[in-house]
Structure 1
Amino acid sequence: MNITLRQLRVFLAVAQQQNFSRAGEAVGLTQPAVSRSITDLEQQLGVQLLHRSTRDVELSDAGRLLQGRATRVLDELDAALLEVRGLATQRHGRVRVASSPTLSAHLMPECIARCAQQHPGLQLQLLDRIQQGALDSVRAGEVDFGVVIDPTEPEDLHCEAILSEPFCLVCPVDHALAQLPEVHWRDLAGHPLVLLDHASGSRRLIDRVLEQHAPECQVVQEVGHTTTIFAMVQAGLGVTVVPRLAVAEQGVENAGLVHRLLLPAVERQIMLVHRRHRRLAPVVQLVWDLVRDVAHARWSERPARKVRAKARG
């Protein structure tokens, strides 16, 4: 059999995406090229790996077997090649990192600047993705690691918490909630809310706490970026709940808004993630450590626990 690494990588992309076009985008090939690669691989093996429909594909029994074995083999090969390349280049090369939008805007710029300053031969390339997109990029091997909000069910990922941060209320300076000495989650009852949509890694935590403390709250707008949220709050469309990181960087006080820590304090965990059982190359480990150090230096008030943490409240 004359099976190539490229054919195996294309097959794993199709198995991950369950679609030829999306797999082509992930590996940089056209849909016909992906189809030809899969057909050639099936002919070499003498078995059908995929059941094809007009829109999606499904793995056959042989396909599922190959997916599990090939993933482990290629992960080990990638780790070996990256380690050899890391030994040769030391602090030179490119490290790709996927990050969810809030973190891309408020944490990663300093990390990129610090990397350029301390390691001029090393390029930190950022992929700004919604939470699920960042996780998918990590799982597909499109990036070396991700910076995300505490993911759910990450059995296939190694996670390290680098920062815990609470949620805050943001409202106009003359709003009734701004006059309270302390603001509790239950105080949000009856006030329209403008929140990040469900693509955000924080939204599930916010929904969970609201359901417990203020179930009658009405979400009037759901948007993708905190800058849009603050503009809507300025316009009087409602109040919002956002992580402290977004508040610290936006300078809400200059926009006629105020922020208050919501009680009881509910924290989200910011985590670095990479594929489990995949050893990081030296240059990747260097950037991993840099991102963790920047997070600790700028925002962490206490050491982050290297465990997955659930929201309290």
Structure 2
Amino acid sequence: MSLTNLRHLRVFEAVARLNSFVEASKALHMTPAAVSLAIRDLEMSLEFRVFDRTTRYVRLTEAGKQYFERVVRVLIEVRAAESCAASLRKGSYETVRIATTPTVITSLLGVAFERAPKLWPDVKIICVEVMSHQLQEVVDAGIADIAIGVRLPDNENNESQVLFASRWTALIPRDHKLAHKDPLTWRDVVEETVVVTNQSSRLAIQKALPEDLTIDLAHEVSTAMSAMAYAASGQGIAVVPGYMRLLARAHKLLAVPIVDPEVLHVLEIGVARRPRPEAHILQMRDFLVSEVPTVYRRLM
């Protein structure tokens, strides 16, 4: 890849994330005209449009959305390489790249950032933020060493184990009619407007419920943070893993466990079997398996 193409990808990522040529130009310290020219050159080389744009909005085309997912992965690796080079100039170190969602990073990986550097000062942790459905893909592609998510594969090529199991929890505004009730039952929840992160979560919960209880989603969102935002704006009860309890406080939401029956959200941690990870990667995996349930037990 030429330097020019790499520059185009960085411009493309900025415009896609900010939905604005002007805002991207500010973030990249470029002129709007230079940003427009870079996108034009990129589209000419790709031979398809990546943005629909008018005077009022900038949106990814369907082709642009698919291309954006690949570009994000490429730039993650580029930034990791640049970070590695900078660190090597200062002195060598080993890295552990952990792929997971922003919610897990914020809620459960503080222990890794706080304690691991004291135990292994020559090991650097790099978080690779991805959507949950992309976790195994980034490990298979060699972009990450460890994946943390749900339903990770355990087979001849990959191994996984339970990292953290927590009860599903309802996030509700303090003025909601159910705010006085703790815990809630699933019968309480299904009678309300419900927001759940993706269809897979809904089906996993539904499987554990009695036949006469059905979750009808008012909103299906792609991230737990989005579900929390819906709850904070009064658009429904967000059903999320219990480890989001601390984040809920920042949005002035009550986090109430849901019982009868008790349904667990099981978070797993996985690594590749082939090729076998280096010793420092397995050490970090074992450290997380030991420390995360202990440190965050109150969030189970």
TM-score range, shorter chain: 0.5 to 0.7
Aligned to 2:236: 238
Contact 2:152 2:270 in 1 (8 A): no
Q: Partner residue of 1:276?
A: 273
- Asked if structure 1 preserves the Cα contact closer than 8 Å seen for 2:109 and 2:292, the reply is no
* % identical aligned pairs: 19
- Offset at residue 93 of structure 1 (A): 0.9
Q: Which residue of 2 aligns with 1:205?
A: 204
> In 2, distance between residues paired with 1:293 and 1:119?
16
The superposition leaves residues 238-286 of structure 1 with CA deviations (integer Å, 9 ceiling, x where unpaired) of 1121111011x2143x644322211111112221111234422111112
Q: 1:190 to 1:154 in 2, by over 3 A?
A: farther
Return the alpha-carbon distance in structure 1 between the equivalents of residues 251 and 257 of structure 2: 18
Given residue 193 of structure 2, which amino acid in structure 1 is its aligned partner? P
For structure 2, the 5+ residue unaligned runs are: 1-66, 76-91
Question: Mean alpha-carbon deviation: is it higher for 174-183 or for 204-213?
Answer: 204-213
Query: What stretches of structure 1 of length at least 5 have no aligned partner?
Result: 1-20, 30-90, 305-313
Root mean square deviation of aligned Cα: 3.3
Rounded to whole Å, the distance in 1 between the matches of 2:263 and 2:148 is: 20
SS in 2 for 1:228: helix
| C-alpha contact 2:111 2:295 (8 A) present in aligned 1 | no
What's 2:222 paired with?
224
Task: Identify if the C-alpha distance between structure 1 residues 106 and 203 changes in structure 2 by more than 3 Å, giving closer, same or farther.
Answer: farther
Separation in 2, partners of 1:212, 1:153: 30
Q: Post-superposition shift, 1:143?
A: 1.6
Of 126-135 and 220-229, deviating more is: 220-229
TM superposition shift of 1:148: 1.3
Are 2:253 and 1:257 equivalent residues in the alignment? yes
**d(CA) in 1 for partners of 2:69, 2:225:** 33
Compared CA separation, residues 224 and 26, structure 1 to 2 (3 A): closer
2:213 corresponds to which residue? 214
Relative to structure 1, is the Cα distance of residues 280 and 153 closer, same or farther in structure 2, using a 3 angstrom cutoff? closer
Task: Specify the alignment match of 1:117 in structure 2.
Answer: 118
> Given that residues 145 and 271 in structure 2 are in contact (C-alpha distance below 8 angstroms), is that contact kept between their aligned partners in structure 1?
yes
Relative to structure 1, is the Cα distance of residues 113 and 230 closer, same or farther in structure 2, using a 3 angstrom cutoff? same
Q: What count of residue pairs does the alignment treat as equivalent?
A: 216
Distance 1:111 1:234 in 2: 29
Structure whose CA Rg is larger: 1
- After superposition, residues 150-229 of structure 1 pair within 5 angstroms as 150-151=151-152, 156-180=157-181, 182-198=183-199, 202-209=201-208, 212=211, 214-215=213-214, 217-229=215-227
Deviations 1:50-69 (A, max 9, x none): xxxxxxxxxxxxxxxxxxxx
